A and B are shown apart, each in its own frame.
Chain A
Amino acid sequence: MSNNKKIYDKGIVFTGLVIFLALITFPFWYNRGIAAPAPEPELTEKAKAAKECVLPADEMKTGHMQLLNDWRNDVVRNADRMYVNEHGKEFNMSLSNECLDCHSSKEDFCDRCHNYASVKPYCWDCHIDNPKEKM
């Protein structure tokens, strides 16, 4: 469009452009091209043997936080500790005793995805780190 070749106020314009580019491309240079595939949460032998969790794996992936939240409400408010899934299987609604029973390593199971997605669940504010060891 412009007939002009010359760029005026070069210093300040290019400084501005460099800042703009640096900001806009932040994710590109911050990660330095190091591939970051989704982490694989490590399943314990017990978990593998069980084959199925409370809900199908896909639903657990996207909805476990809500399930846990519902569990907590049921337990704390209604003193209800029993959960029955659609296959009629019963579960004790307890993070420490039920979930962590199979997924016994918080570090290798929970934290992997939580760290990847930068999620900081407040579960661990109360529930101790490795219940098996300390109980």
Chain B
Amino acid sequence: MKNYLLSLIAVIVLALIAYVGAEAATWPQYVFGIIIPYLAMTIFIMGTIRKILGWARSPVPFRIPSTCGQQKSLPWIKQSKIDNPFTFFGVIVRMVLEVFLFRSLFRNTKCKMSKGGKIFFDLEKWLWVGAIVFHWSFLVVLLRHLRFFTNPVPGCIQFLEQVDGFIQIGLPGIFLSGFALVAGAVFLLVRRIVIPQVRYISLASDYFPLFLIIGIALTGILMRYFTKVDIVGAKEILMGLVTFHPSISANINGIFYVHLFLVSILLVYIPFSKLMHMGGIFFSPTRNLANNSRAVRHINPWNYPVKVHTYDEYEDDYREKMIEAGLPVEKE
């Protein structure tokens, strides 16, 4: 079966389980509304810590930054301080730009070849645009959701809501981030399916989180704009979770539990998958190290002595010939 169909079906089945369960009886609401979210949060936190400590248990033996600009050398040669940092501060700037603006991805080009065999490199910013839209809107959606997890709701979250909801067509007001998230995720999904090379490298585990996130976003949109959910009741459940006074509200429809269940699946999925790239970027030795290993000695904790063909052994091999050629030797 096609990878993406497999993932799509998996997400649909998961959604159906939660929907049917929550609509059928009350007890599954405790499972989907309380037990699974707690379990998911625990697995997410423990799993992420375990993964990160796993990375931290391996040392960085060598200083291997990818240098993407002029090194620091002679004082009159202009160093590229961000793309080839020499100091810790430079590294921080490089990392911040990498994490928040995807600087490396911004370089993206597309290679094309003409009939005559001439190669061109076009700027290809769509992947960058898609990635930026997807990640930033996801972050905004996430932060916006803090209104369901805090009481009273902090002013900055309220402000974010206002900015995100500046377009008012009918009621409830539209949150742009939610639609941007769907658009971004769909773009990433479509390019994965449509571009032959990307489809070729894509695994079921690449499609799954995309479908999952699209599912999460769509159920959210469904609840807000269409099927409607009792928002006060929903918040009551979520506040119950984060204040350790878990409870279930009546009259919350199944879509809410689908939403919550898919989020729980996503949380569990993160530490065991490529989604750990959000932590991994901080650990990438080609980005988080200064290119100063000629000026400051980098220490390898497991540096061990190796077998070396010494000069003495070398001279023993060639002494006669060296003397004959007039080369100086240690022992005549």
Inter-chain contact A118/B239, CB cutoff 8 Å = no
A-B residue pair count with CB separations less than 8 angstroms: 115
Q: In the complex, which residues 1-38 of chain A have their Cβ closer than 8 Å to any Cβ of chain B?
A: 1-2, 4-10, 13, 16-17, 20-21, 24-28, 30-31, 33-38
Residues A120 and B158 in contact, CB atoms below 8 Å apart: yes
Candidates A6, A24, A65, A118; contact of B171 at CB < 8 Å: A65
State how many angstroms separate the Cβ of A82 from the closest Cβ of chain B: 21
Cβ of B16 < 8 Å from any Cβ of A? no
Q: Which of B45, B171, B235, B236 has the most CB of A within 10 A?
A: B171
Q: A8-B60, A31-B239 are in contact. Are A58 and B149 (CB under 8 A)?
A: no
Among A17, A61, A116, A120, contact of B151 (Cβ-Cβ < 8 Å): A116
Q: Report if B282 contacts A (CB, 8 A).
A: yes
Is there contact, CB below 8 Å, between B45 and A36? Answer: no
Residues of B contacting A113 in the complex (Cβ-Cβ under 8 angstroms): 231-232
By the criterion CB–CB under 8 Å, are B162 and A37 in contact? no
| Bound CA–CA A28/B146 (angstroms) | 11
Taking a contact as CB atoms under 8 Å apart, the answer to whether A33 and B244 are in contact is yes
A113 to B162, CA, bound (A): 18
Name the interface size band of chain B: 35 or more
* Given A21-B45, A35-B245: A117 touches B232 (CB 8 Å cut-off): yes
Q: Is B105 an interface residue (CB 8 A)?
A: no
Among B146, B170, B232, chain A packs the most CB atoms within 10 A around the CB of B232
Q: Are B57 and A5 in contact (CB under 8 A)?
A: yes
Is there an interface contact between B54 and A1, defined as CB atoms closer than 8 Å?
yes
B239 touches A62 (CB 8 A): no
CB-nearest residue of chain A to B158: A118
Who on chain B is nearest to A28 by CB? B242
Would you call B243 and A38 a contact (CB within 8 A)?
no
Interface residues of A (CB under 8 A from B): 1-2, 4-10, 13, 16-17, 20-21, 24-28, 30-31, 33-39, 58, 61-63, 65-66, 68-69, 113, 115-120, 122
List residues of chain B with CB under 8 Å of any chain A CB.
44-45, 48-49, 52-54, 56-60, 146-154, 157-158, 161-162, 168, 170-172, 228-233, 235-236, 239-240, 242-245, 247, 249, 251, 279, 282, 301
The 7 closest A-B pairs by CB, nearest first: A27-B149, A118-B153, A62-B228, A36-B151, A118-B147, A27-B242, A38-B236
A16-B282, A26-B149, A36-B236 are known contacts; what are 7 more A-B pairs with Cβ within 8 Å? Answer: A4-B58, A8-B59, A31-B149, A36-B243, A58-B251, A63-B228, A118-B157
5 A-B pairs, CB-CB below 8 angstroms? A31-B242, A37-B240, A38-B232, A61-B232, A116-B151
